[in-house]
Amino acid sequence: MKHIGVILTCIFGVIFTILCPEIGMSQDSIAPKERVVWHKLEGSLGMTVNQLGITYWAAGGESNMSGKVTGNFRYTYNRKMFNYVTNGLFMYGAQGYTRTNRWEKTEDRLELSTTMTHNNNRNLTFTAMSMLKTQFTNGYSYPNDSVPISKFFAPAYLTVSIGYTYNIHDIVTIFFSPSAGKFTFVNDQTLADKGSFGVEAGYWNIVEGDSTWIPGKKFLGELGFNLIIKYKQEFKNNIEIFSTLNLYNNYMDVNRANRWNIDVDWETGLKFIISKRISTVINVHLIYDDNIRFNVDGREKPILQFKESIGINFLYKFAVDNKNKEINN
């Protein structure tokens, strides 16, 4: 039953993807013969650098240098009744220590999302959304840098959702999907055998005294609801606040006791705009996922993940748009 629900979610997503442009065309045919098609590509490249130098410092410490590179892009395609947006976020950061000559990863994000909306209402729109999240390189629990706890596409999370988006003055958007498929990929057999990130772990199958190793599964499919709340506002004193709260609940979990668990991904930032190219950003990121477990006091259990960063950001922005008109035949 669980897998049937996941498959149906995918089928509905594909159908919506195929039919939505046709819906827009059928609505446009009622309008005047001339219609506007608008394409826009925009993005930004940013770099954050921090440096600390210490020589004979009584309070202790170690000289270090850290940096982070961030890339964002957004492609928008608009028609009268149809809107298509693709977003990408690429982020990588590292910190190096002078005395011990070691490097540690501090940031690693690769995120892609696609949103398609049917503009049948000014504030409330029918929406199909897909989102992929993973990382570039191996992750470690420092100071242990020999045993990876995560890798590229291990894990990777793909969420496919169908629902409605409510827009409040272009400041707050609320997306709710009662039918959202979440797919977890663990493309590393060692991590899969451990049952990392919620997949089924490997085990020894003993039949009449003979033991056979059954490898861990690299895939986990879930079906539940998805709620995404986004807030972004810029104030006159060059301060910008942005926040994204993503909640997901797997109400088809085989273990009924886990059906009340809600995955939380909440990121909030405060940006002080110094100039067109320079800003100071304070960022806080919280994650809670019942399928991600950490060793705490000898026990594997889920725990609230917390990350905070502050730095001066050097930013370059670009935008290219193409607005043209087409004539209906």
Q: Could you tell me the CATH number of the domain that includes residue 101?
A: 2.40.230
Residue 88's φ and ψ, nearest 5 degrees, are -135, 140
Q: Which residues contact 317 (CB under 8 A, 6 or more apart)?
A: 42, 43, 44
Establish if 329 belongs to a structural domain. no
On the question of a cis peptide bond just before residue 302, with omega within 30 degrees of 0, the verdict is no
Is the residue at 326 inside a domain?
no
In this predicted structure, what is the pLDDT of residue 168?
92
Q: Is residue 280 part of a domain?
A: yes
Position 57 scores a pLDDT of 79
Residue 150: partners with Cβ closer than 8 Å, 6 or more residues away: 135, 138, 139, 191, 196
* Cβ 72 vs Cβ 86: under 8 Å: no
Q: Would 327 be classed as within a structural domain?
A: no
Domain count, the chain: 1
The residue among 263, 306, 293, 280 whose CA lies nearest residue 48 is 280
Q: Are 201 and 186 in contact (CB under 8 A)?
A: no
How many Å apart are CA 194 and CA 63, to the nearest integer?
37
pTM of structure? 0.82
Q: Indicate whether 92 belongs to any domain.
A: yes
Does residue 285 form part of some domain?
yes
Taking the chain (329 residues) in runs of 10, the rounded mean pLDDT of each run is 44 42 40 61 91 78 90 90 92 90 93 89 88 96 92 97 93 95 96 95 89 95 95 92 96 82 95 91 93 86 91 90 55
- What secondary structure does DSSP assign to 128-184, as a single string? EEEEEEE-SS-B-BTTB-SS-SBBTTBSEEEEEEEEEEEEETTTEEEEEEEEEEEEE
**What CA–CA distance (Å, rounded) separates 139 from 155?**
11
What confidence score (pLDDT) does residue 22 get? 40
What residues have CB less than 8 Å from 76, skipping those under 6 apart?
Answer: 38, 39, 40, 41, 42, 83, 84, 85
User: Is the Cβ–Cβ distance between 269 and 284 less than 8 Å?
Assistant: yes
Cβ 25 vs Cβ 37: under 8 Å? no
Q: What is the model's pLDDT at position 150? A: 97
Kind plus residue range of the DSSP H or E element containing 192: helix 189-193
The domain of 113 spans 2-54+62-320
